[in-house]
């Protein structure tokens, strides 16, 4: 008998919800929103007894893997007229990928071809090919137009420019070599299809911007991952490009505490977390003094305070239904202190606009998600996960199987119902990307942002 991954996850969810009833008496109904998608019939493999087949390794092997220790090869090759003509055809059709033929010296290349084989043709063709690789692999948008973008794209190492140049010229398959760089996520192909049938100039530009955003990420996100689209306020658990479960989210408020764009890994699931209260609240809002002066109130609220000899007060909220992190957090270390977590204020998930936090991502049905992550990550069995979740004690369950988490920002993408949709640009991040499409292509551009890393200190009491 075959079982879908959706049914398997639904079984996990049932256990999670059953266990949650013991620990979340205040709002158990918030774990079962009406618009649940996690029980969809999604065929991903054989019955759950074959765990490895149903939930494969996270990251796929790249199509091209350069030798990182090898001496870099020259970025110039010898081009025959036939191969140079094939390159011209690729450039002439590059608009289908949301790029502009004018960026790749098309006219100069045609002129050089008309003059016959030459050093000039080799240089022009090689340079145009290199520029195509850079834009298709890394994205055309310069780094200063990618606001709060902190993802390091691994494709520059996986698909080395000189290796691709050598492969293209040796095989003569210019188009096929470059096609290896297309993002594998289904949304890229869907946006490409929409671009082909859209004539409205503003819509075409928005499509192009969001196609480019896919290039900023790794070409292959992996076989199994979490991905959240911030302006959509949704988190997805994805296996083999199929959505297994979706969760509404609450994200950062616009401004300094807007949620940044990241690609991180879940290293553990923390059940019944503690919350170390930031000094902006302990000292700035007087919470430390209040906890010390009102021990009975502090016990009810779950706060414990320690005052050092120098007068420094630290306050930690203990695990419990009222804890500001709720019943779980996903441990995903990063310089921004961003993570996914529960919240006791679950009614906020019913709001249409949910840019309400100080940067971290609050997740509905969080205990269901936590138990699922613990099981998929081979950190615990179903029974063990439910036991620690309902114990009331701080417990960190390590994740043995790598689980990537992508925090993205798409203003045009497939929604959770599978429809191509546009989303409000809540942080104003579209404007610089759209503007860059009207500017000449930037050569020798930076590969990492120099933007300030904002460490999020979330006031979680809202």
Q: How many domains does the chain have?
A: 2
The C-alpha torsion from 58 through 63 and 67 to 68, rounded to 10°, is -50
Residues 363 and 249: beta-carbon distance below 8 Å: yes
Give the per-residue pLDDT at 455.
58
Q: What is the pLDDT along the chain (462 residues), one digit of tens a residue?
A: 334 444 555 555 555 545 444 444 333 222 222 333 333 333 333 343 444 444 445 444 444 445 556 666 779 999 999 999 999 999 999 999 999 999 999 999 999 999 999 999 999 999 999 999 999 999 999 999 999 999 999 999 999 999 999 999 999 999 999 999 999 999 999 999 999 999 999 999 999 999 999 999 999 999 999 999 999 999 999 988 789 999 999 999 999 889 999 999 999 999 999 988 888 789 888 999 999 999 999 998 899 999 998 989 999 999 988 898 999 999 999 988 899 999 999 999 999 999 999 889 999 999 999 999 999 999 999 999 999 999 999 999 999 988 999 999 999 999 999 999 999 999 999 999 999 999 999 988 878 787 776 655 554 544
CATH number at residue 31: 2.40.440.10
Give the per-residue pLDDT at 14.
52
357 and 229 fall within a common domain: yes
Q: DSSP states of 28-52 as a string?
A: GGGGS-TT--TT-----SS-TTSHH
109 and 183 fall within a common domain: yes
100 and 239 fall within a common domain: no
135 and 18 fall within a common domain: no
Give the per-residue pLDDT at 380.
92
Give the per-residue pLDDT at 402.
81
Residue 280 lies in a domain: no
358 and 251 fall within a common domain: yes
Side-chain-facing half-sphere of 56: CA atoms under 13 Å: 14
Cα(106)–Cα(116) distance, integer angstroms: 16
Residue 281 lies in a domain: no
Q: Helix, strand or coil for residue 95?
A: helix
25 and 42 fall within a common domain: yes
173 and 260 fall within a common domain: no
Specify the DSSP class assigned to residue 419.
-
Q: Helix, strand or coil for residue 278?
A: coil
Q: Tell me the helix, strand and coil percentages in the chain, rounded to 5.
A: 40, 15, 45
Q: Which tokens hold the place of 392? A: 């009331």
105 and 243 fall within a common domain: no
153 and 236 fall within a common domain: no
Residue 86 lies in a domain: yes
Cα(166)–Cα(181) distance, integer angstroms: 15
Residue 287 lies in a domain: no
The distance of Cα 259 from the centroid of its chain, to the nearest Å, equals: 12
Give the per-residue pLDDT at 448.
79
207 and 248 fall within a common domain: no
Residue 288 lies in a domain: no
Residue 343 lies in a domain: yes
140 and 190 fall within a common domain: yes
Q: What is the distance between the terminal CA atoms of the chain, rounded to a whole angstrom?
A: 47
Residue 398 lies in a domain: yes
Give the per-residue pLDDT at 7.
52
Give the per-residue pLDDT at 447.
80
23 and 132 fall within a common domain: no
Cα(216)–Cα(153) distance, integer angstroms: 7
Residue 304 lies in a domain: no
Range of the domain at 206: 81-218+429-437
Cα(348)–Cα(362) distance, integer angstroms: 10
Give the per-residue pLDDT at 445.
84
């Amino acid at each position: 008998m075959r079982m879908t991954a959706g049914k398997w996850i639904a079984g996990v969810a049932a256990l999670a919800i059953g266990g949650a009833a013991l620990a979340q008496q205040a709002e158990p109904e918030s774990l079962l929103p009406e618009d649940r998608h996690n029980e969809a019939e999604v065929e991903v493999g054989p019955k759950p007894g074959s765990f490895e087949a149903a939930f494969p390794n996270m990251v796929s092997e790249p199509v091209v893997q350069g030798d990182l220790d090898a001496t870099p090869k020259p970025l110039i090759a010898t081009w025959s007229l036939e191969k140079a003509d094939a390159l011209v055809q690729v450039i002439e059709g590059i608009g289908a990928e949301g790029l502009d033929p004018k960026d790749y010296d098309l006219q100069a290349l045609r002129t050089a071809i008309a003059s016959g084989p030459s050093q000039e043709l080799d240089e022009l063709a090689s340079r145009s090919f290199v520029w195509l690789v850079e834009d298709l692999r890394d994205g055309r948008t310069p780094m200063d137009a990618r606001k709060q973008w902190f993802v390091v794209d691994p494709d520059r190492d996986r698909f080395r420019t000189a290796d691709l140049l050598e492969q293209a010229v040796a095989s003569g398959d210019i188009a096929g070599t470059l096609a290896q760089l297309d993002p594998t996520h289904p949304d890229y192909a869907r946006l490409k299809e929409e671009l082909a049938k859209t004539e409205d100039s503003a819509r075409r530009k928005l499509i192009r911007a969001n196609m480019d955003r896919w290039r900023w990420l790794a070409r292959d996100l992996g076989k199994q991952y979490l991905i959240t689209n911030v302006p959509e306020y949704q988190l997805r658990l994805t296996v083999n490009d199929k959505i297994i479960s979706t969760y509404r989210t609450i994200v950062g408020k616009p401004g300094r505490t807007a949620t940044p764009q990241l690609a991180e890994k879940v290293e553990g699931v923390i059940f019944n977390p503690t919350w170390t209260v930031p000094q902006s609240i302990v000292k700035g809002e007087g919470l430390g003094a209040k906890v010390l002066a009102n021990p009975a109130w502090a016990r009810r609220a779950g706060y414990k305070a320690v005052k050092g000899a120098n007068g420094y007060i630290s306050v930690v909220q203990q695990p419990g239904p009222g804890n500001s992190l709720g019943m779980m957090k996903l441990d995903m270390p990063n310089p921004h202190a961003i993570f996914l977590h529960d919240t006791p204020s679950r009614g906020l998930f019913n709001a249409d606009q949910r840019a309400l936090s100080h940067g971290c991502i609050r997740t509905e049905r969080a205990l269901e998600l936590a138990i699922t992550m613990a099981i998929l990550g081979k950190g615990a069995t179903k029974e063990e996960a439910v036991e620690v979740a309902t114990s009331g004690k701080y417990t960190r369950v390590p994740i043995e199987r790598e689980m990537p988490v992508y925090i993205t920002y798409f203003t045009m993408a497939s929604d959770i119902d599978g429809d191509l949709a546009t989303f409000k640009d809540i942080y104003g991040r579209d404007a610089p990307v759209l503007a860059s499409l009207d500017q000449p292509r930037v050569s020798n551009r930076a590969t990492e942002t120099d933007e300030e890393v904002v460490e999020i200190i979330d006031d979680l009491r809202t």
